[in-house]
Structure 1
């Protein structure tokens, strides 16, 4: 067994804190040594369990003298940073070959996509852009490809609606994702032109990896099997069909590498609008963690039926006194006061108990669409959300890379040709030469950017960055010591990062109507996609209406304790259940739902009360001072 009485106490103390212990289901996952799926509920401590497993396996591999490693992939830099920083708490700070820890895009790019692009185009590197940045370049390139008669706006929506594919004859195709509709030649030529000139989307790197794996399948499978003894995929539900196909090709017919997928298929938000889920774990064959540390019974009982499958196995944390769920009913006249009433009620609940009065945590209101959020608050702006936008994060990381290049050049006394190894492509150079150092520095960059964005203390992060810069520069330049290494310019980077992030300052919603109740606690507005992975003190799920159809109206029976499997076949119902499940599983203490009175029948209201929701008529609170 990986975890036993000898090592359990120390690892629980460092990862869980206090006297908390791993639950039996968590222990079973840590000790599992076969390929399987791990289905874990919200708040199950899934990532902590994975980190404990990685730490114990690293120790085991080291003691056994094995030449094989562990490959861990997840979907965000923040998740990578969490894994790396938690391993550091356990005394593991040097994750190097043959191990790999990174995002799924970094995994594909490092091992396949960059090589594939070099083979296909005979070029050394490409510019990896998120779709919003790509659209800006698309507008420029389209000017050279559009016909003379073109008087329409630039069709930038093609960026989101197309994929590339390289066929068996190595021919590049631009595939339209619009059912039954192809884009015109100027659009397709623009995307192909951008591809050949090195302007690449994330989806393009996945297609490149697919082509490369297909063309070298047997050799790559053998190399993967020889290098990695364990392969862990975190947040498996976020894996796209294309990514899943690539990973499946890698592990096909591999009986030596232990492959484990960690996730919650009920939270698969990247397969909405009729798309199929890529990861479909068989629950009977999977290991499961059904105990949630996050919320109490009042929240768990709602989630058991507000789910794409009835989740009767879900267990609440009975040490958490979650509030009775609140159902807010509003109308057109008082819709803009809804958030104030919600804030007031949460504030009163928080102040009424010794358990909650000192607890900090986000008070959130969420719904499916940005435009729906604008209807609840005049001050809400899509660009003003609490996290750095992907394009801004990439811009910050680009500046960080440049700062490292500058530090290397400043301390490099060699001739210019001696510097070419890192000047040509700094990220590729670091991945190849110093993967462990690179992971640690990237994790620190991500933490620094996050600290700047959230206006929290940065001092210790900067100290750690200086140390890591010195270590990397000393190693790269073959210096005897790092006493004369100058990394002071790292502090000059901060104003540039602040400037990038200024576009993304957080705003707190305020109401301006004359009968507004003073807001007791600041309410943060966001989409459900935007809060995925977060934990809140309180979460209010707001109704979204599209084309006259209410998403909450479609699932009202599920919210009131009646699971109806026949309704889940409808795409809108399935999507609404997925979104509601994610939203309602964010809070620890207070959960609410808000609907327009016109979308509720008398029977609906009776069912809401019967199931134990506390109904809040917004109008009843408008005269309270």
Structure 2
């Protein structure tokens, strides 16, 4: 593929507000071979990926090529982010023959549903949720057992039903079939194995599956060589966003599918942000790596510290971007640290125009939620972004339910099919985007009209009477939004506190990191600065958590340390690496 200067200008004007892509971002965009792209914090990963896809779509349309692009994202938020960027660039959202969605959506659409249609004549999949976590499987298995073993005691049937439910389906690769394992080491497993497998498959065939079943049934489906070739021929280009968070079973299936001479698969993310407990670090061959490592987030004062924590990150910074030296903040009383932090912020806001004009969050980060109760005597509050996401989800459900009811008043039958049609409609993502704006700005006249028009597009397609802007639906939306805004927590420190896990992917103005109790992060920090050359077993999850916390801020990072632990050796080592040493009593 070839992109002209005009192509680049069009994308830069749309996505970068007049700024230019840097040399590494352009190299990534023009890279068309199977690679793992390690994109560090603040390197513009999502923007670069969106720019690459936009330019590819321009080239494909210009040359009338029928080469499919498949983008696997970690969340639906990322789907909206990329689609919105593509719309800004004027190329429109991803549509056929291309695909964008989560790894589960990809395999459900292209493997599980085709398999269920062919093998079970079933077009519907039902996944568990918080209201029905087990699909009432036990009752179903008891019913199936009762048909064959009428003489069996009810208690025995219930016991066997539970064993069926908790026994895992597996792939027998030698015989290329689905099998069941003796997950519970049950001594009577062999006696009932055939029934257990048959009943379990029977229940699954009705569409009642789990998220892990997606990969099991997909692996089975991909034994079909013709289906494999169809997918390989459809999608020449495959991008896996946030690969470090991608389900490993699913990732292996994607590798088996698309690591061929005629396909290009690129995995984009930061393996050093693997922070889920129980996860393993991705294995990456050095020859497979392309580094997108010039950060636009912070200056060398912070970037250099991240390279001490994880030298393999190889983060580079721009000369024109500056940050403050990080601070070791020594305390006697941990409950006073939050107040001292806010005094530091107030002081810097008065002294630094660039810091004061930055509108990002100032955050207090903790490993565990209970830290806030113990040291601040307040309950941990869910992160605002997550609150907003849940409110947007609630509003979307309200609208979907409204549209569904309007249609069912006329059509009566096919209620499940109608709901599926609504949820998969091309206008739903736009409604979702408008709801995000509603939560930011309130339900004004402009947004009301836009939402009404989007809803009416769906209704017109089903020949349903359109709604007006004074419909009760908009009063219901406004009531939910106003209730959310009115209950917004005004406690400043309370609003600042988040867990490290919850802020992954975010950018903040400053960060105070607390590690008050067992101090796993402090151990790693001291090891990296006091004994960097000593090799030992790396606690990579806590190392990565430290890295994630330190890479959130644009300007200032503060690490709270007990004054009793602040030895002369520690002071010397940290000062030599351009840290500042401060004491809580200086500020309160």
Q: What TM-score, normalized to structure 1? A: 0.77
- Cα contact 1:141–1:194 (8 A) shared by 2: no
Identify if the C-alpha distance between structure 1 residues 94 and 587 changes in structure 2 by more than 3 Å, giving closer, same or farther: closer
The number of residue pairs the alignment matches comes to 558
Q: 1:22, 1:128 → 2: CA distance?
A: 42
Give the equivalent residue in structure 2 for 1:260: 266
Residue pair 2:137, 2:203 contacting (<8 A) in 1 also:
no
Given the alignment, which residue of 212, 221, 224 partners 1:212?
Answer: 221
CA distance in 2, matches of 1:349, 1:166: 59
Pick closer, same or farther for the CA change 1:494–1:202 going to 2, 3 Å: farther
- Equivalent residue number for residue 541 of structure 1: 513
Q: Which residue of 2 aligns with 1:486?
A: 467
The 1-side partners of 2:182 and 2:436 are apart by 36
1:163·1:204 contact (CA, 8 Å) conserved in 2?
no
- Does 2:8 align with 1:13? no
Change (3 A) 1:356 1:374: same
> Given the alignment, which residue of 301, 309, 312 partners 1:310?
312
**Residues 497, 244 of structure 1: alpha-carbon distance in 2 compared, 3 angstrom cutoff:** farther
- After TM superposition, the structure 1 stretch with the greater mean CA deviation from structure 2, 458-467 or 354-363, is 458-467
Aligned residue number for residue 552 of structure 1:
521
Alpha-carbon distance between aligned partners in 1 of 2:170 and 2:419, rounded to the nearest angstrom: 26
Shift of the 2–384 alpha-carbon distance from structure 1 to 2, 3 Å rule, reads same
Task: Please tell me whether residue 425 in structure 1 is matched to residue 417 in structure 2.
Answer: yes
Shift of 1:305: 1.5
Structure 1: distance between partners of 2:398 and 2:301: 46
Instruction: Summarize deviations over 1:31-83 as a string: whole Å, max 9, x none.
Output: 11222221111111111111111111111111222233211121112111111
**Could you tell me how far 1:506 is from its partner in structure 2?**
5.2
Return the alpha-carbon distance in structure 2 between the equivalents of residues 315 and 327 of structure 1: 23
**Cα–Cα, structure 1 residues 140 and 350, in superposed 2: closer, same or farther, change >3 Å?**
farther
Matching residue within 575, 580, 588 for 1:614 = 580
C-alpha distance in structure 1 between counterparts of 2:478 and 2:545, whole Å: 38
2:159 alignment partner in structure 1: none
How far the C-alpha of 1:134 sits from its partner, in A, is: 5.3
Q: Offset of 1:5 from its aligned partner? A: 2.1
SS at match of 2:370: helix
Query: How far off is 1:457 after superposition?
Result: 6.5
Alpha carbons 1:40, 1:289 under 8 Å: kept: yes
Check whether the contact 2:58–2:91 (CA below 8 A) recurs between aligned residues. Answer: no
CA separation of 1:266/1:28 partners in 2, compared to 1, >3 Å: closer, same or farther? same
Alignment of 1:234-273 (within 5 A): 234-252=241-259, 254-270=260-276, 272-273=277-278
Counterparts of 1:126-525 in structure 2, within 5 Å, are 126-130=125-129, 132-133=130-131, 165=170, 167=172, 168-172=176-180, 200-213=209-222, 215-216=223-224, 218-252=225-259, 254-270=260-276, 272-273=277-278, 275-277=279-281, 279-307=282-310, 309-311=311-313, 313-331=314-332, 334-381=333-380, 383=382, 386-388=385-387, 397-409=396-408, 416=412, 420=414, 423-426=415-418, 428-429=420-421, 437-438=425-426, 440-445=427-432, 447-451=433-437, 462-474=448-460, 476-477=461-462, 485-486=466-467, 488=469, 489=471, 490-491=473-474, 494=477, 507=489, 509=491, 523-525=495-497
Gapped runs of 5+ residues in structure 2?
144-153, 157-161
Shift in alpha-carbon separation, 1:504–1:443, aligned structure 2, 3 A:
farther
Cα 1:497/1:621, change in 2 over 3 Å: same
1:73 touches 1:104 (CA, 8 Å); kept in 2?
Answer: yes
Once the 2 structures are TM-superposed, how far is the Cα of residue 17 of structure 1 from its aligned partner? 0.7
Aligned CA RMSD, in angstroms, stands at: 4.1
Larger CA Rg, structure 1 vs 2:
2
CA distance in 2, matches of 1:297, 1:88: 34
Tell me the SS of whatever aligns to 2:387: coil
CA gap 1:46/1:37 in 2 versus in 1, 3 angstroms: same
Decide whether aligned partners of structure 1 residues 531 and 249 sit closer, same or farther in structure 2, where only a CA change above 3 A counts.
same
SS, match of residue 342 in structure 1: helix
Counterpart in the other structure of 2:39: 40
Distance (whole Å) between structure 2 residues aligned to residue 561 and residue 16 of structure 1: 41
Structure 1 residue 322: Cα displacement? 1.1
Tell me if the contact between 2:128 and 2:134 (Cα under 8 Å) persists in the aligned partners.
Answer: no
Greater shift in the superposed pair: 532-541 or 167-176: 167-176
| Gap change, CA 1:493 and 1:136, over 3 Å in 2 | farther
| Counterpart position of 1:516 | none
Alignment equivalent of 1:530, drawn from 470, 494, 502 = 502
| TM-superposition CA deviations, 1:337-389 (whole Å, max 9, x none) | 21121111012112212222222111111122222343332213255654139
TM-superposed CA distance for 1:257, in Å, is 2.4
- Separation in 1, partners of 2:274, 2:331: 30
Structure 1 unaligned blocks of 5 or more? 150-154, 511-518
Q: Distance in 2 between matches of 1:2 and 1:596?
A: 57
Q: Which residue of 1 aligns with 2:147?
A: none
Shift of 1:210: 3.2
Q: CA offset at residue 391 of structure 1?
A: 7.5
TM-score normalised by length of structure 2:
0.82
Asked whether the 8 Å contact 1:538–1:587 carries over to 2, the reply is: yes
Q: Distance in 1 between the 2:448 and 2:422 partners?
A: 20
In 2, the alpha carbon distance for the partners of 1:193 and 1:394 equals: 33
Please state whether the residue corresponding to 1:404 is helix, strand or coil: helix
- Cα 1:170/1:88, change in 2 over 3 Å: same
Q: Give the helix-richer structure, 1 or 2.
A: 2
Structure-2 separation of matches of 1:137 and 1:523: 38
Please say if residues 38 and 261 of structure 1, whose CA atoms lie closer than 8 Å, have aligned partners that are also in contact: yes
